[in-house]
Amino acid sequence: MSRRKVLYTVQAHDGFVRGMTFNQETSSLYTVGDDKLIKQWKTEAVDGSDLKAPINTILTKSMLTGVSHHRSKPYLATCGEACNLWEQTRAQPIKTFQWGVDSLQCIKFNQVEENIISKMFSYLIFFWQIEFYCYPFRCLWKRSQHHLV
C-alpha cells in the first residue's frame, strides 16, 4: 500500500467480494462474496504468489455481506441473512444469531471487549456477547436528525 502499486490480482469470488478480514497469527486473509463462499488465503509471500488458490473454502447457506476475525481466538464472524460465528477448523457455524428478517450489512469484533460482536442493518446497531447471550444486550438506533442512543 505504501508504494501504491498492485502486486498481485486474483479472481477471488464469482460476483462481488463483500468483505475481507485478516488474521495476523496465521497470516491469513478471509474473504466473503456473493457466491456464498468463505475463502481463506495464505498471505506469506511478498510477491502475492501464494494467492493462486485459497487454502480453505466453506460453502454457506446464504449470501454474505461482511466478515470479521477475532483478535486472539480462532473465531470468524459473518453476516448476511443471519450472523454466524465460526471456528476456523469447522465447516459449520458454531453459533447463529438472528434478529428479524432484515439482512445484516456489517459485522465487527470489538478489539477491546473481545467477546462482543457489533452488527448493523438499516438504522440499527446491535451488540452481542458471544459467550453468554443469545439475544442482543444493547441496541442503538440512529436516524438522520437523531444521534445514537
Q: What is the 3-state secondary structure (H, E, C) of 81-96?
A: CCEEEEECCCCCCCEE
Given a cut of 80, whether residue 99 has pLDDT beyond it is no
The secondary structure of residue 102, as a DSSP letter, is P
99 in helix, strand or coil?
Answer: coil
The owner of cell 451488540 is: 127
- Say what the pLDDT of residue 36 is: 92
Q: Which residue has the higher pLDDT, 48 or 1?
A: 48
Whole-prediction pTM: 0.76
Spatial distance between the Cα atoms of 42 and 82, rounded to a whole number of angstroms: 27
Task: Check: CB of residue 42 under 8 Å from CB of residue 28.
Answer: yes
Report the range of poorest mean pLDDT among 20-29, 45-54, 125-134.
125-134
What domains lie within the chain, and their CATH numbers?
17-141 (2.130.10.10)
- Say what the pLDDT of residue 134 is: 47
- The chain-wide mean pLDDT, for the chain, equals 77
- Say what the pLDDT of residue 109 is: 84
Spatial distance between the Cα atoms of 26 and 43, rounded to a whole number of angstroms: 9
- Say what the pLDDT of residue 57 is: 93
- Say what the pLDDT of residue 141 is: 47
The secondary structure of residue 51, as a DSSP letter, is G
- Say what the pLDDT of residue 70 is: 87
What is the end-to-end Cα distance of the chain in Å, rounded?
37
- Say what the pLDDT of residue 100 is: 66
